[in-house]
Copies of this chain bind each other. A is one copy, B any other.
Amino acid sequence: MNYGAIEAGGTKFVLAIGNKEGEILERKSIQTRDPKETMDEVISFFKEKDIRTLGLGCFGPLELNKGKEKYGYITSTPKEKWVNFDILGTLQKALNIPVSISTDVSCAALGEVTFGEFKNEPTLLYITIGTGIGGGYVIDGKIHNGMLHPELGHILVTKNPQDTYKGFCRFHENCLEGLAAGPANEGRTGLKGNEIPDSHESFEFIAKYIAEALMNYILVLSPTKIVLGGGVMDRSFIFLKIRENVLKLLNGYILTDELQDIEHYIVSPSLMNNSGIKGALALALKAETED
């Protein structure tokens, strides 16, 4: 018997059936509309399948504290129709199987340590740098949530005085997401993402912002592996700039084997664009053994 997996995003939902080995046997992408329409399609996809459990990696913020009344709800998202939507309850009720939920980015981290090249990495931080910036953290195979769940795209960075772009985050003047996610690059250059030449100085700015954030993540979380995914990171030259800046900023303050081999410390996702959906599959496997 197989397992179900959902990667629920703001523009599309990826639905998949997979097995214990992490193989995706069937996959379907559907467009994200309002909750009723979208969930009807999700449910009818899985209803026909014979699955033991379902894992759901979802856009947030989510309530992930099992003690709370709204456990499994999407809470204060800017996607208005989805505010306060009980996505976990809806799936559990309709499918009548165990469903396990986490953020999309935490699932991506879990996917990498469960089915990726970084299997059994003690502590892995996954960050996606795309239309937004988010991250998830897995410690000894377990997703870390804490009070809410990491929202590490919004940490503050030092604005480069030569960067005249004001940032697009409506909450914070100088947070990482507002200055370094895809829309920031477009806002700064006035060009569409794929039209911006590699040589544009915007990449210098964002590489430094991302490096400053990584320095802080390293000092706070001390991960043994950092994986950077998302559209912005598709340009591999940015990795070089980021690694260089991380070492410059740390300035020898911490010395570890990992930092000395930084090409293997700050890396691309080993599962390419499948970290998230495979992580949701890993979550489904956990749903079988955990309460």
Contacts and interface: CB of A to CB of B under 8 A. Distances in A.
Most buried by B among A61, A154, A158, A258: A154
A156 interface: yes
A31 interface: no
A224 B61 CA distance: 16
Copies of this polypeptide in the complex = 2
Contacts of A61: 254
Contacts of A249: 156, 172
Contact of A139 (B139, B159, B223): B139
Given A171-B252, A224-B146, A219 B154 contact: yes
| Interface SS of chain A | loop
A147 B253 contact: no
Contacts of A253: 151, 154, 171-172
A222 B122 contact: no
Contacts of A75: 255
A212 interface: yes
Contact of A220 (B139, B172, B174, B221): B221
Interface string A222-250: 11100000000000000000000000011
Interface in A251-273: 251-256, 258
A144 B137 CA distance: 12
A217 interface: yes
Given A156-B212, A156-B215, A156-B216, A148 B222 contact: yes
B220 A152 contact: yes
A274 interface: no
A218 B144 CA distance: 13
A146 B222 contact: yes
Contacts of A221: 146, 150, 220-221
Interface of A: 61, 75-76, 122-123, 139, 144-159, 171-172, 174, 212, 215-224, 249-256, 258
